[in-house]
Amino acid sequence: MRDKLQQIKIDALVLIDNAQTLEDIEEVKLKFLSRKGELNSFKKKIKDLPADQKPVIGALANEIAQELEQKLNDKLYILQREEILKRIESEKIDITMPGKAVYSGKKHPLTTTIDEIVEIFQGMGFSLVESQHSPEVETEHYNFDMLNFPPDHPARDMQDTFYTQLAPNVILRSHTSNSQVREMQTKKPPLRVVIPGRVYRAEDVSSRKNNLFHQVEGFMVDKDITFGDMKGVLNEFIRLYFGQSRPTRFRSSFFPFTEPSAEIDVQCIMCKGKGCRVCSQSGWLEILGAGMIDPNVLKNAGIDPDVYSGFAFGMGVERLAMLKYAINDIRLFFNNDIRFLKQF
Ligand code: DAH
């Protein structure tokens, strides 16, 4: 009996020693120490022993049970420790690894430019007009007629203006000046407003021209407004927009809706006036059309030109952005190439 007990002990110790996992430990426990395990089965046989042997063998069985229990717990402790260390190792975070970049959305450079232009004029007392007085799909009436364009003016030609099939005379506006009379008809002078928006022209696309571009329209109507006021406001705008006075020139020009009219050029930033592809070798980039509002336009809007006068201007947003950020191709604004957009 004693030998049998020793054998059980040795078998169990070998298995405990070989156990690699917590499951192995469970198995040993089950095999030797559970209710139906080998030690218990052995103990059941003790009652058949001679009386003098019962206590001795019984005591020895208990002793072995205790020893195995102790060994199992020791081994369990070691394996649990190993498992924890393994987990710590596998979950270790290398804080020296480069992180994943998070890209956030940004304003389009044209939106930024429009915001900047509007803000500068707001600083000079102009207010921003919402789009209801500035539709992109427009009638010839507001785009041309009310602005004093004669019926046979070449700008009405199919080559410059996109005509729609919605109705005869419904077009995509060719300039934001369409909003001038709409705005003047609904308000009384004094007026000082800026109106940004998209405009459309049927042009050959090139580095300087696109079918769709943006303008900011503005005008001021009050008593005693002069050409000098206009020059002052526009020069101040150019100074604030570029952060410095840049060479500009006011060229006399013609628009049906202004008299006198001027075009304002800024020196080409690409070639510093020497002449390049962007400025068509002229050294200058036109950014603005402007002039004193023609009395006919004021009359069309129901404003008495004998009492009131005003100036108006329209500027190309893309041109202004190209000058400021040294961009040499207008198409970059519309291709939506992320490598371009993310630079702003
Ligand atoms: N509408 C003109 C254009 O698109 C620009 C312009 C010129 C606007 C003179 C004006 C202005 O308000 O007074 O070329």
pLDDT tens per residue, range 15-59: 999 999 889 999 999 998 888 888 888 888 888 888 888 888 888
The whole-number pLDDT of residue 312 equals: 98
User: What are the φ/ψ torsions at residue 158 (nearest 5 degrees)?
Assistant: -55, -25
Q: What average pLDDT does range 94-112 have in this prediction? A: 90
Q: What average pLDDT does range 266-285 have in this prediction? A: 82
The atom of ligand 1 lying closest to the CA of 218 is: 12
CATH entry, 109-341, from 3.90.180.10, 3.30.930.10, 3.20.20.110, 3.40.50.300:
3.30.930.10
Cβ(207)–Cβ(331) under 8 Å? yes
The atom of ligand 1 lying closest to the CA of 177 is: 1
CA of 113 relative to ligand 1 center, distance in Å: 18
For ligand 1, whether the C-beta of 220 sits within 6 Å is: no
DSSP labels for 114-177?
Answer: HHHHHHHHHHTT-EEPPGGGS-SEEEHHHHTGGGT--TT-GGGSTTTSPBPSSSTTEEE-SSTT
Cβ(175)–Cβ(208) under 8 Å? no
Three-class SS state of 296: helix
Q: What average pLDDT does range 193-214 have in this prediction? A: 94
The atom of ligand 1 lying closest to the CA of 314 is: 8
Three-class SS state of 241: helix
Q: Could you give the CA distance from residue 16 to residue 128 in angstroms, rounded to a whole number?
A: 85
CA of 179 relative to ligand 1 center, distance in Å: 11
Tell the residue number behind the tokens 């009996």, with chain if given. 1
- Averaged pLDDT of the chain: 91
Rank 90-94, 101-105, 170-174 by mean pLDDT and report only the highest: 170-174
**Atom 9 of ligand 1: nearest residue by CA position:** 290
Residue 186's contacts (CB-CB under 8 Å, 6 or more residues apart) are: 133
**Atom 3 of ligand 1: nearest residue by CA position:** 175
CA of 33 relative to ligand 1 center, distance in Å: 99
Alpha-carbon 329 to chain mean position: 22
Instruction: Please determine, for residue 124, whether its predicted confidence score (pLDDT) is greater than 80.
Output: yes
Instruction: Please determine, for residue 278, whether its predicted confidence score (pLDDT) is greater than 80.
Output: no
| Start-end of H helices in 257-316 | 295-300
What confidence category does residue 156 fall into, taking pLDDT thresholds of 50, 70 and 90?
Answer: confident
Summary count for the chain: helices (H), strands (E): 12, 9
Q: Tell me the pTM.
A: 0.72
Instruction: Please determine, for residue 244, whether its predicted confidence score (pLDDT) is greater than 70.
Output: yes
Q: What average pLDDT does range 67-77 have in this prediction? A: 92
The atom of ligand 1 lying closest to the CA of 258 is: 13
Taking Cα atoms as reference points, which of 241, 289, 286, 234 lies closest to residue 265? 286
Q: What average pLDDT does range 275-299 have in this prediction? A: 90
The larger pLDDT score, comparing residue 217 to residue 134, is at 217
**How many degrees, rounded to 5, is the angle at CA 220 between CA 218 and CA 221?**
140
Domain boundaries, the chain: 2-91, 109-341
